[in-house]
């Protein structure tokens, strides 16, 4: 039995919005994504507050999220919607 379908596993990474670290404990990843950071997340960003005519910048936190999905692909030498072609 020759394998015709060789699906590729893809990992999609994303980060949540930058917010004050104290507010980031309850931040959730979008549906289908898994949170890979703990607690308040990673303190690697800045968020901005507009106060009248000024914009203030503060250090903040965000979470990292990943999603794994399989992309259907034919093995080498096969093609077509059902990977039957040679």
- 14 vs 69, more confident: 14
Q: Where are the domains of the chain?
A: 13-69
Q: Using the structure block, give the residue that is written with the tokens 């931040």.
A: 27
Residues 6+ apart with CB under 8 A from 53: none
Q: Confirm whether pTM is higher than 0.85.
A: no
Beta bridge partners of 51: 54
C-alpha 54 chain-centroid distance: 32
Mean pLDDT of 56-64: 97
**82 falls in which pLDDT band (50, 70, 90)?**
confident
């Amino acid at each position: 039995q020759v394998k015709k379908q060789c699906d590729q596993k893809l990992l999609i990474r994303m980060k949540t919005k930058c917010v004050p670290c104290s507010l980031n404990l309850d931040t959730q990843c979008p549906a289908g994504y898994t949170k890979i950071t703990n607690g308040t997340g990673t303190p690697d960003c800045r968020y901005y507050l507009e106060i009248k005519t000024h914009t203030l910048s503060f250090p903040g936190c965000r979470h990292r999220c990943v999603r794994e999905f399989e992309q259907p692909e034919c093995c080498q030498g096969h093609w077509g919607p059902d990977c039957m072609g040679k």
